[in-house]
Structure 1
Amino acid sequence: MALFESLVLLLLVSCGLLHLARRVGLPYPTMLALAGALVAATPWAPDIAIDPHLALVLFVAPALLSAAYDTSPYELRRHWAALVALALFAVVLTTAAVAFIGWKVAGLPIAAAIALGAIVAPPDAAAAQAVLNSQGLPRRTLTVLQGESLFNDAVALLIFAAAVGSVTSGPSLTSLVPTLAIAVPGGVLLGVIAGAVFVALWRFWSGTLGSTLIEFVSTFGIWLIAERLHVSPVLAVVTYAMWVARFAHGRQTAGDRVHSFAVWDAAVFALNVTAFLLMGLQTRSILSQLQGAEIWNALGFAALVFVCVVVVRIAWVLSYRCLLSRVLPSLRQPPAGTVQTRFLVGWCGMRGVLTLATAMSLPAQFPGRDLIVLSAFAVVLGTLVLQGATIAPLIKWLRIPKDASLDRDVRFGRSVLDAVALDQSGGDAACSLPSSREAERALVAAQRRALQSLLLEGKVPEDAFRILQEELDWRELSLTPHRKREIAEA
């Protein structure tokens, strides 16, 4: 009951904070981080723990699927070199830098120090998406940041699993290398197979509450299966989400999509709130066990880890094109981005649910667990509050113009759909409005086919396609009788 009561209280507080965040222009993850810290600071906050194995699958899998569903694989392929530099090299470099500090300053064992580095290294997909979507960043920059925050999770979790495994089961490096070599392609293959099966079987649950339930079950199930097969669960879920986003929309009804998006947004938000609450409570429990100078030493080390994470990322983002241009020649190709844009990318390194959940997943007897959890929460709190709250003023200070290309692509798509409406009415603008609901539904169907052709021909990118698809979904629902709009129980 203590967890449930605290969760209800925090959800209520979070609803108020969401309203405040909109009024003051702050991203909601920043408010959640502050709320988690404030609730944990209250004297009546309960001592609550969570099963370490449950933390990752419960909090990370849904957030990853939600972010990956909105990410275009074709855009990621175009910017693969930058993604490799950020999702692979940046994670490894940050992990190494933090691990050195953990080993040298805090005296952590090497494996524990590496685990700490892997926990705090990857920027979070959900945090990046929530903070950046409303800032009008250049679309290329936004695509790279979203792609980075998806795939760096996989790199970080592979390093984390290897470090924790070396402590708990003591495998040698030679036994870990083949495992890591199989984990990446195995995760991608599992995601493709699961996505293809899901799309093929979608019609059995279409139009029912079971369709959304199956989405959640499949997401958690894919993660668990990937863990059992010792392949990357992150890559499995990301690949699965991208496959479904690409191939399922032709089989889904408008009602299924609208209902699914609403449920997923609410569920991911509630899970984020829960993760911040649990992490804050664990941090409170850790601090309550420290006395005198121990508290300041622990907080000082956590602050040092935070500074290291921020500085290493900015330095790497500003320099990786020069350092890696011989290894990755495509980095020399334009557009390389201005110094202002690259600095902004370096500053956009918010940590979130992945860092929280990974820290909570550490075994209870793991060496230095308390210090690692405290440092992880400090990094999440620091990046979300300091960086997340200053992105908007930083964009203005750097004079980075807002990207209007999405609006341009949406306007182009709408013009094509308007032309379809004129064609359906015989080219007479005065008669462009169909005279019956059946004719209007036929028009929507024709516009869907035209929109699909625009996507397949590459004339409309996927982000603009989703906006236009949503407009058609709502129009179709407005033309559908009430009894057919209802989501059936079975």
Structure 2
Amino acid sequence: MESIVDAVLLLAIATIGAALARRLGLLAPLLLLVTGLILSFVPGLLEIHLDHELVLVGILPPLLYVAALQTSLPAFRFNLRPILSLAVGLVVVTAVVIGFALHAIVPAAPLWSCLALGAIVAPPDAVAATAVARRIGLPRRVVTILEGESLLNDATALVMLRVCLAAAAGAVGVLDIGLEIAQAAGGGVLLGLAAAVLAAKLHRRIEEPLLDDAVSLLTPFVVVLVAEALHLSSIVAVVVAGLYLGHRIPQLLSAAARLQMDAVWRLITFLLEGTVFLLVGLQVRDVLRAIETPAPTVVLATAVTIALLLAVRFAWLLPAAYLSRLVPAMRRRDPAPDPGASAVIGWAGMRGVVTLAAALALTPVEVLGVEYPRELLIWIAFATIVVTLLLHGTTLPAFARLMRLRRDDPMQDVLAEAGVQQQASAAARARLDALADGAPEEVVERLRSLSEIRANLAWERLGSQEQETPSRAYARLRREMIDAEREVFRVARDEGRIAEEVLDRAQRGLDLEETQLRKYE
């Protein structure tokens, strides 16, 4: 019963914190992190001890899966070079630099343990990057690169961590490392594709929206469990499955299933994201209590680690954006680098849930049989999460403005949409004319008029934003009409003239129509 109370209290605080953040205009992850920090020092309140397997299997998979579902596969492929440069090259270099620097500061710590910490703190977080980047309205290409990096760098970091822990027993050589990486990453890709193909076949045969939702919810967890059992990269497998299915969802799911699944995943993501950042803050007190290393060494090691994270990211990112253009094929493929965008990507290095899970996964000394300062490493990891979230999360909007980043022109999107909508409406009318034989003339004219309205709507958005367009007037007036209809049905139900089921059916239709009116605004 106590665990249920803690879970409910945790979700309630996360929900209230997110609502308060929106009211105050703050970033919800930052407010929840600070809230967790404060609550961690309240005796007897939410003393939750996280298990790394819960994070890796229960929290991380759905978050990564949703992020992959929402990532544009064409945009991901187009930006694959910078994404791989950050997700693989930068993670490896960061882990090595931090590992050797920390070993110099704390000679008592074996080199393998210092490299393990480097791998733990190297990958920026998918949840934090998405939450902050989309919130402040960064350009679409910058968001794609940050999301792509954070989707793939976790696999690189966790493979490096696994290699470092195996090295503690002296069982790893160069060939072993190569085989480990090839098996984990390559096997993860194959498993993700196989799982995606299987899930796609299931979605194609399912006609009930609830069953589609169930398959979608189960997919990331099944993929992770199978990957862990086969010792493959579960993160790579989940991301590959999400990218594949997200690209094909329009062909796999019905309209009702897509709407319902989107609502379900949005709720799950909202609750999990809030809970994750709250949990990070709640762990700080226990981590502080376990440290036995002298305070000056702790402060120096923590400060050097955080400083190197930022320095190495900029040292890697800015030259890489230009050196790749020395290759003619890359120069033709990649647009000219924007120094401001590169600087913003460099500053957006927030750590989060993967660093948390990897730190908790460090094997206890009594189990591993090798002495190393496990508590110090865990503290540095947690301090990195807190500092980077607070530092980058609070200053990234101002930093983006300082860099005068060229934002995407919304009118370009509207213009492109209008052109495609014109083609879509023409195709719809052609299909209508081909199938209209035998249908009542008034029905055909009504459908043709609806198609013309949808085509005109896109072009109206290019006009003045001050004057009310016909589509906006239609939406405003129709919304008032729907309110009147809804009230009549409610009164009839209260007076006993219709059953509750009749009200529900009418209410569902009116709600769906009201939701569709948003496209006219």
Class of the TM-score when normalised by the shorter of the 2 chains: 0.7 to 0.9
What's the C-alpha RMSD, in Å, of the aligned pairs? 3.5
Q: How is 1:101-250 mapped onto 2 (pairs within 5 angstroms)? A: 101-107=101-107, 108-167=109-168, 170-203=171-204, 205-250=206-251
SS in 2 for 1:250: helix
Alpha-carbon separation, structure 1, partners of 2:139 and 2:56: 32
Partner of 1:430: none
The answer (yes or no) to whether the contact 1:55–1:360 under 8 Å persists in 2 is: no
Partner of 2:467: none
The answer (yes or no) to whether the contact 2:223–2:234 under 8 Å persists in 1 is: yes
Alpha-carbon separation, structure 1, partners of 2:261 and 2:203: 13
The answer (yes or no) to whether the contact 1:59–1:354 under 8 Å persists in 2 is: no
SS in 2 for 1:134: helix
Identify the match of residue 377 of structure 2 among 372, 381, 401. Answer: 372
Name the aligned partner's letter for residue 314 of structure 2: I
Partner of 1:79: 79
Partner of 2:517: none
> Given the superposition, is the C-alpha separation of residues 301 and 247 from structure 1 closer, same or farther in structure 2, using an over 3 Å criterion?
same
Partner of 1:268: 269
Alpha-carbon separation, structure 1, partners of 2:446 and 2:354: 48
Alpha-carbon separation, structure 2, partners of 1:437 and 1:380: 60
1:288 deviation in Å? 2.2
Partner of 2:304: 304
Alpha-carbon separation, structure 2, partners of 1:441 and 1:263: 34
Partner of 1:398: 403
The answer (yes or no) to whether the contact 1:321–1:331 under 8 Å persists in 2 is: no
| Higher RCO by CA contacts (8 Å cutoff, separation 6 or greater) | 1
Partner of 1:409: 416
Name the aligned partner's letter for residue 406 of structure 2: P
Alpha-carbon separation, structure 1, partners of 2:156 and 2:302: 23
1:373 deviation in Å? 2.0
1:442 deviation in Å? 12
The answer (yes or no) to whether the contact 1:7–1:277 under 8 Å persists in 2 is: no
The answer (yes or no) to whether the contact 1:30–1:385 under 8 Å persists in 2 is: yes
1:223 deviation in Å? 1.1
Name the aligned partner's letter for residue 407 of structure 2: K
Deviations 1:378-433 (A, max 9, x none): 1111122111122212222222232124444344444444555666787xxxxxxx
Alpha-carbon separation, structure 2, partners of 1:173 and 1:156: 17
> Given the superposition, is the C-alpha separation of residues 305 and 442 from structure 1 closer, same or farther in structure 2, using an over 3 Å criterion?
farther
1:364 deviation in Å? 3.2
1:29 deviation in Å? 1.9
Partner of 1:462: none
Name the aligned partner's letter for residue 256 of structure 1: A
Identify the match of residue 382 of structure 1 among 375, 387, 394. Answer: 387
SS in 2 for 1:239: helix
1:221 deviation in Å? 1.2
1:294 deviation in Å? 3.4
Uncovered stretches (5+) of structure 2, i.e. residues with no partner: 434-440, 455-481, 483-503, 512-521
1:443 deviation in Å? 7.2
Deviations 1:355-388 (A, max 9, x none): 1122222233363322222222211111221111
> Given the superposition, is the C-alpha separation of residues 100 and 337 from structure 1 closer, same or farther in structure 2, using an over 3 Å criterion?
same
1:186 deviation in Å? 1.7
Q: How is 1:355-366 mapped onto 2 (pairs within 5 angstroms)? A: 355-365=355-365
Alpha-carbon separation, structure 2, partners of 1:85 and 1:170: 29
SS in 2 for 1:391: helix
The answer (yes or no) to whether the contact 1:179–1:230 under 8 Å persists in 2 is: no
Alpha-carbon separation, structure 1, partners of 2:110 and 2:42: 33
Greater mean deviation of Cα atoms: 6-15 or 109-118? 6-15
Alpha-carbon separation, structure 2, partners of 1:190 and 1:298: 41
Partner of 2:341: 341
The answer (yes or no) to whether the contact 1:356–1:376 under 8 Å persists in 2 is: yes
Deviations 1:132-185 (A, max 9, x none): 113332222222121111111221121112112323683444323212123222
Partner of 1:284: 285
Partner of 1:41: 41
Deviations 1:237-287 (A, max 9, x none): 111111111223223122222222222222233233333344334321121
> Given the superposition, is the C-alpha separation of residues 30 and 24 from structure 1 closer, same or farther in structure 2, using an over 3 Å criterion?
same
The answer (yes or no) to whether the contact 2:28–2:274 under 8 Å persists in 1 is: no
> Given the superposition, is the C-alpha separation of residues 41 and 336 from structure 1 closer, same or farther in structure 2, using an over 3 Å criterion?
farther
Alpha-carbon separation, structure 2, partners of 1:80 and 1:158: 20
1:12 deviation in Å? 2.5
Alpha-carbon separation, structure 1, partners of 2:286 and 2:444: 61
> Given the superposition, is the C-alpha separation of residues 169 and 416 from structure 1 closer, same or farther in structure 2, using an over 3 Å criterion?
farther
1:328 deviation in Å? 8.6
> Given the superposition, is the C-alpha separation of residues 336 and 35 from structure 1 closer, same or farther in structure 2, using an over 3 Å criterion?
farther
Name the aligned partner's letter for residue 303 of structure 2: A
Deviations 1:98-134 (A, max 9, x none): 2122212133222211111111111111211111113
1:347 deviation in Å? 0.5
The answer (yes or no) to whether the contact 1:275–1:356 under 8 Å persists in 2 is: no
1:92 deviation in Å? 1.0
> Given the superposition, is the C-alpha separation of residues 334 and 218 from structure 1 closer, same or farther in structure 2, using an over 3 Å criterion?
closer
Partner of 2:259: 258
Name the aligned partner's letter for residue 400 of structure 2: I
1:89 deviation in Å? 1.2
Structure-1-length-normalised TM-score: 0.81
Alpha-carbon separation, structure 2, partners of 1:413 and 1:333: 25
Name the aligned partner's letter for residue 369 of structure 1: R
> Given the superposition, is the C-alpha separation of residues 437 and 205 from structure 1 closer, same or farther in structure 2, using an over 3 Å criterion?
farther
Larger radius of gyration: 2
Alpha-carbon separation, structure 2, partners of 1:265 and 1:192: 24
Alpha-carbon separation, structure 1, partners of 2:286 and 2:310: 26
The answer (yes or no) to whether the contact 2:291–2:375 under 8 Å persists in 1 is: no
Structure-2-length-normalised TM-score: 0.76
Alpha-carbon separation, structure 1, partners of 2:377 and 2:448: 57
Q: How is 1:442-481 mapped onto 2 (pairs within 5 angstroms)? A: none
SS in 2 for 1:285: helix
1:204 deviation in Å? 5.2
> Given the superposition, is the C-alpha separation of residues 222 and 135 from structure 1 closer, same or farther in structure 2, using an over 3 Å criterion?
same
SS in 1 for 2:26: coil
Count of aligned residue pairs for this structure pair = 449
Partner of 1:463: none
> Given the superposition, is the C-alpha separation of residues 23 and 204 from structure 1 closer, same or farther in structure 2, using an over 3 Å criterion?
same
Alpha-carbon separation, structure 2, partners of 1:377 and 1:436: 64
The answer (yes or no) to whether the contact 1:59–1:357 under 8 Å persists in 2 is: no
SS in 2 for 1:133: helix
SS in 1 for 2:71: coil
